[in-house]
Amino acid sequence: MRSTLPKVLHRVAGRTLIEAVLDAAAPLSASRTVVVVGRDRDRVAATLDGRDVRWAVQDPPLGTGDAVRRAREALGDGGPIVVLAGDTPLLRTETLARLVALQREKGLAASFLTFRPPEPGDFGRVVRDRAGRPVAIVEARNCSEKQRRIAEVNAGVYCFAPEALWRALERLDRNPVSGEFYLTDAIAGLVKAGGRLAAVEAEDWREAWGVNTRRDLAAAEALENRRSIERALDAGVTVLDPATVRIGPRVSFASDVVVHPFVSLEGETVIAEGCEVFPFTRVADTRMEEGSAIGPHCDSEGARIGPRARVGPYSRLRPGTVLEEDVRVGNFVETKNTTLRKGVKALHLAYLGDAEVGANANIGAGVITCNYDGVNKHRTSVGEGAFIGTDSQLVAPVTVGKGAYVAAGTTVTEDVPDGALAISRVPQANKEDWAERRRARAKKRDSG
């Protein structure tokens, strides 16, 4: 990867490689998930903080067989045991379910996943007997010339009966070439001990593809995005230009959504029926409710956009933003940790941070909530039906009452009662003929 970042922490479609694998396995996990880590384990653990996983440490790294041994105590009793690599981000839950179902239904010692890539390269070859039963997996470096011509290769995805797995691992020997313990050797060991095995070939070889280079990473990104585009189309979404739209694997849609060109939908975004997202807009971890729309050149992260609310163009919704129904947020308006109640309008050049704005209030152009005093954040409250005039500053903590008015150009430092007018301008003074006298002085100075 030519990177200081652990391979499994590189990202495809917004998820790290290991998160993608864990997401694929999550619907199958009835008891517990164990992650085996070695070098850089602290960085991996930090990335997976909050997930329900147990940890096992492999240090020094002595191969895949040794890695599974290290997980035994954390796994506890029960099974079957599914073993996955952390660098296969395209693996699908449906494929894993087939693998597990086969092992359970037939009472196999093990089932494992195979695939047929265009170039088998360094993948372990799957050796079958004359009846077509798998009898061994041979690492590429140990293959004979005949074995290297085998097109079917090992995906590194297994489902074991627990007792069979532990017995096979106890009998594993170090590989004489690498000095490591290979989990693939357990397959041959199970066959030798009389265990029954079966292999499941992936319907699409690419889902078993492990990422090892930046080129692999880019190819996986394109494939994952295409999957998401197709999932959106199948859900009744109109994607006007699939070639320029990016959709993450965790994004969910209702029908009759319209996605314009050059849109990026990321994270745990949920888009309800009849919504529309216009060009050059990023939407991440955001909930869009029925009939809402985000205009061109907007950024929304960690926000909730209520029914029929309209955002943009050139708006930024930061985490904690809640727009209730029929809210309008316009050009060059930024919000953060702020709730705009039903019917609020903030159409031009405003910053609303750490605030609550009551229903049907109007926020004029250039309004700022001054929420940070250099040490702490403070809240601003604007009452229902209030009118905040152009170029006003609300210095938090402060409350503007229901139906109150704040005159344009006012700096509000004290609470404004319901129905009151707040004004804090310097009195205007007009100096007659001042401009004419200034021009005369300048002309005299330039001529003499």
Would you say the CATH fold of 235-336 matches that of 7-208?
Answer: no
Cis peptide before 397 (omega within 30 of 0): yes
Name the percent of the chain lying above pLDDT 70.
Answer: 99
The Cα–Cα gap between 1 and 55 comes to 25
| CATH class of the 346-448 domain in this structure | mainly beta
């609470």: which residue's tokens? 415
The domain ranges of the chain are 7-208, 235-336, 346-448
| Spatial CA neighbour of 305 closest among 316, 170, 296, 143 | 316
| CATH class of the 235-336 domain in this structure | mainly beta
Beta bridge partners of 288: 271, 305
The neighbour count for residue 200, using CB atoms within 10 Å, is 21
What does pLDDT average to over the chain? Answer: 95
Q: How many CA atoms lie within 13 A of 359 on its CB side?
A: 4
Give the pLDDT band (50/70/90) at residue 311: very high
The helix (run of H) or strand (run of E) holding residue 208 is: none
pLDDT at 153: 95
Q: Are 36 and 247 in contact (CB under 8 A)?
A: no
Q: For residue 123, what are the CA distances in angstroms to 22, 114, 119, 220?
A: 23, 10, 9, 18
Per-residue DSSP letter, 30: S
Q: For residue 197, what are the CA distances in angstroms to 132, 136, 193?
A: 11, 10, 11
Q: What residues act catalytically?
A: 348
The Cα–Cα gap between 102 and 6 comes to 33
pLDDT at 30: 67
pLDDT digits (tens, 9 = 90+) for 224-263: 999 999 999 999 999 999 999 999 999 999 999 999 999 9
Cis peptide before 6 (omega within 30 of 0): no
The Cα–Cα gap between 420 and 404 comes to 5
Q: Are 31 and 243 in contact (CB under 8 A)?
A: no
Residue 31 has pLDDT above 80, yes or no: no
Give the pLDDT band (50/70/90) at residue 108: very high
CATH annotation of 7-208 = 3.90.550.10
| Spatial CA neighbour of 284 closest among 246, 312, 311, 254 | 246
